[in-house]
Structure 1
Amino acid sequence: MPAQSFQIAKRPSSERGHADHGWLNTYHTFSFADYYDPKYQEFGALRVLNEDRVKARRGFGTHPHRQYEIFSYIISGELEHKDSMGNIEVLQRGDVQFTTAGTGISHSEKNEHPSKPVHFLQIWTKPENSYLEPGYVTRRFQEADKRNRLQPFVSPYQDVVNALTTAETPTVLPDTIGIHTDLYAYSSILEPGQTVVHQVVKSQTPGSATRARRVYLHVIDKAGSLDVADGQSETTTRLDKGDGAFITEVKPSGTIELANPSDKPVEFILFDLA
């Protein structure tokens, strides 16, 4: 049996940081707030991945951010966003809201629905330049575009690609949200028995040998399971709802097979990063 071409380290949901504040039930993949684990501080440019459920009529009051780029991936319910740039928006299922905090912004995120909770992912990434002009963008991604395929929703700005890589590397992916670092994000809703294959981005730092990539997978805490394999080995890693996986030493242009072995659809996100 051929050896796997990369390393997989499972991050079980039960081992994530967790806090239940009554109005907020939150799980942390990386050290955040009162949860600290020196083994889980960041993964490349990925610094925060929180899975939050906020009760009706509650939320995060106005608070400041700097330097990071922050996005919210709405799973269910409604999330009202207000910020110091004048943006006011109610986000729903399928929406991805992205903020470049840069030199400084303040915002609030609240669930103003009278009865239903909101379930969303809060994700922070570190840009190449921490002192960017603040910015805001929202884009909706349709269910049909995620079903049984990997739908890209974030990719680097063209100037980031030009600065970090050679002309052999893919440029900005169409119809995605731009980010100021070498990171690509995808989402998928995989039906029972279905398989998708991710071909890892081919990146190369100018003047050096081709560098390995890394991938982070997160299975959204809803239903279904995900099997992860490299297409060469019969060995797979099973991820259930809320689980994640750190995948390292991935060869550029290598493939990762993702299959749903369960009897329910599974929704997940995938980060492909330097």
Structure 2
Amino acid sequence: MTQTIYHPADTRGHADLGWLNSHHTFSFAHYYNPDRMHFGVLRVLNDDTVTEGKGFGTHPHDNMEIISIPLEGDLEHKDSMGNTTVIRSGDVQVMSAGTGIYHSEYNKNKDQAVKFLQIWVYPNKRNVSPRYDQITLDPSKGHNQLQQVLSPNADDEGVWIYQDAWFHMGNFDNGVSTQYQIKKSGNGVYAFVLEGSFEIEGQQLNKRDGLGIIDSTGFNLKATSANSRILLMEVPMKLTNAN
């Protein structure tokens, strides 16, 4: 039987560092909640706002799949692999940290904050060679339907990671419904509302609310306000020791 875990937006962890305003769905940095360590292999879902000209200095990562999804503004990325890029709203960025990388992220704008999601997923393969990729989404593919933005397969639509995970995003008009089918048995889905509101499995969700859905083969979602936007993250629910 389908089970759900509801996380209202105002129950997330919060950190305000002046230059950074961050909300944490799962335990992160100084926010610790033993009931919110992860959702399956989804370890971090941070909703970050960075002020003009500020950002994260160079810092390391290893053995983690790191996905960044800008929502507003421009974010400049630099890393130890030699990449210097700018990601904008409508882009999706992925890094497989593998054996280890260093990177920095800065707000490229001088006149507006940048808002982006920082997502970490445990990999199913450890100590791989670090890799970087980013794409720009076709907005027409996400209107009143779910657009795949991430998968385990390099030849599929979107970016790919070392994990049996699929991410979808969509922008919906009020009253529009769609069905989501689980891609791999045993996976769960964490739904995160970016704008507007939705109803899933009888639960009303508003902006920045989250809903974990487990033991399901599929579910219906319905937009309950205009210009509603959602991110679905399907991930394995079992933490296994990656090779």
TM-score interval for Structure 1 and Structure 2 normalised by the shorter chain: over 0.9
For 1:50 and 1:142, how far apart are their aligned partners in 2? 24
Partners in 2 of 1:184 and 1:109 — Cα distance? 25
Number of equivalent positions: 236
Mapped contact 2:19–2:51 kept (Cα < 8 A): yes
Give the AA of the match of 1:112. Answer: K
Q: SS at the partner of 1:145?
A: helix
Is contact 2:72-2:114 (8 Å) kept? yes
Which residue does the alignment assign to 1:127? 123
What corresponds to 2:102 in structure 1? 106
Q: Which amino acid aligns with 2:134?
A: T
Shift of 1:202: 3.8
Listed as ranges, the matches of 1:1-274 within 5 Å are 5-157=1-153, 174-203=156-185, 212-220=186-194, 223-229=195-201, 236-250=202-216, 254-262=217-225, 264-274=226-236
**Identity level (%):** 41
User: Which residue type is aligned with residue 227 of structure 2?
Assistant: P
Checking the alignment, whether the CA contact within 8 Å between 1:155 and 1:173 is kept in structure 2 is: no
**What is the CA–CA distance in structure 1 between the aligned matches of 2:229 and 2:118, rounded to whole Å?**
16
Tell me which amino acid in the other structure corresponds to 1:240: N
- Counterpart CA distance in 2 for 1:34 and 1:55 is 20
Opposite residue 190 of structure 2, the aligned amino acid is Y
Larger radius of gyration: 1
Aligned to 2:239: none
- C-alpha distance in 2 between matches for 1:48 and 1:94: 21
Q: How far is the alpha carbon of 1:273 from its aligned partner?
A: 2.0
Deviations, residues 156-205 of structure 1 (Å, cap 9, x unaligned): 13xxxxxxxxxxxxxx77222111111111111111111111011144xx
The answer (yes or no) to whether the contact 2:150–2:161 under 8 Å persists in 1 is yes
The Cα shift of 1:112 comes to 2.0
In structure 2, distance between residues paired with 1:228 and 1:150? 14
Structure with the higher strand share, 1 or 2: 2
Distance change (3 Å), C-alpha of 1:117 and 1:244: same
Question: Does the 8 Å contact 1:152/1:173 carry over to 2?
Answer: no
> Aligned partner of 1:21: which letter?
L
SS of 2:34's equivalent in the other structure is: coil
Does the residue aligned with 1:110 lie in a helix, a strand or coil?
Answer: strand
Scaled by the length of structure 2, what TM-score is found? 0.94
**For the residues of structure 2 that align with 1:39 and 1:219, how far apart are their CA atoms?**
21
For 1:206-247, what per-residue CA distance to the aligned partner results, in whole angstroms no more than 9, with x for missing partners?
Answer: xxxxxx331110112xx3101003xxxxxx100100100011
**TM-score, length-normalised on structure 1?**
0.83
CA distance in 2: counterparts of 1:237 and 1:34, whole angstroms: 30
How far does residue 45 in structure 1 lie from its aligned partner after superposition? 1.3
| Structure 1: runs of 5+ lacking an equivalent | 158-171, 204-211, 230-235
5+ residue gaps, structure 2: 237-243
| Cα contact 2:151–2:157 (8 A) shared by 1 | no
Match of 1:215, as an amino acid?
Answer: V
Q: Report the CA distance between 1:22 and its aligned residue.
A: 1.2
